[in-house]
Amino acid sequence: MKLSKFVAPFRIIAFAVTSLFFLVCANATAEEMPESEYRELSEGQRYTGIVDSIHTEQALVIIDDRSFILDRVMQFNNASWSREQVMNQLKPNSRIEIEVGEIADAGRSVRLVTQIRTLDK
């Protein structure tokens, strides 16, 4: 009987310490992930990534889970193209380099794309 009085509080303390440990570890991991994967882009900066999807009706291109809107006229592989022509040339899973322009939608931090260069051979 004396042993059972000791075991019950020990289980509660062990559970509390284990729970606290997992809480602290999970919180530390969550804080590190966004900084390592996400970086803010500024106007004129180049960004290299993979095309996830293309939405022609909105002139929207998703690159590495980020949304970009194509400018009306832009540089595509060192030539001037309309956004419609560029949309027809881009394919999902293509590796591209873009130059970002000004913010097109401040609420969603969507930027214009002023240049695209395909990197696939």
Based on the fold, state whether residues 66 and 23 are members of the same structural domain. Answer: no
Q: What domain range includes position 113?
A: 46-118
pLDDT in tens, 55-107: 988 889 999 989 999 999 999 999 999 999 999 999 999 999 999 998 887 77
Burial (0-12, 13-18, 19+ Cβ within 10 Å), 63? buried
Nearest to 45 by CA among 92, 115, 110, 117: 115
The DSSP output letter for 16 is H
Based on the fold, state whether residues 65 and 114 are members of the same structural domain. Answer: yes
Query: What pLDDT is stored for residue 21 in this prediction?
Result: 67
Contact 116, 74 (CB under 8 A): yes
Q: Whole-model pTM?
A: 0.65
The CATH number covering residue 84 comes to: 2.40.50.320
Q: Which two tokens stand for residue 21?
A: 């440990």
Based on the fold, state whether residues 34 and 52 are members of the same structural domain. Answer: no
Based on the fold, state whether residues 52 and 26 are members of the same structural domain. Answer: no
- The dihedrals phi and psi of 42, each to the nearest 5 degrees, come to -120, 160
Contacts of 47 (CB under 8 A, 6+ apart): 41, 63, 97, 98, 99, 100
Based on the fold, state whether residues 87 and 51 are members of the same structural domain. Answer: yes
Percent of the residues in the chain that have a pLDDT greater than 70, as a whole number: 76
Per the structure, how many domains does the chain have? 2
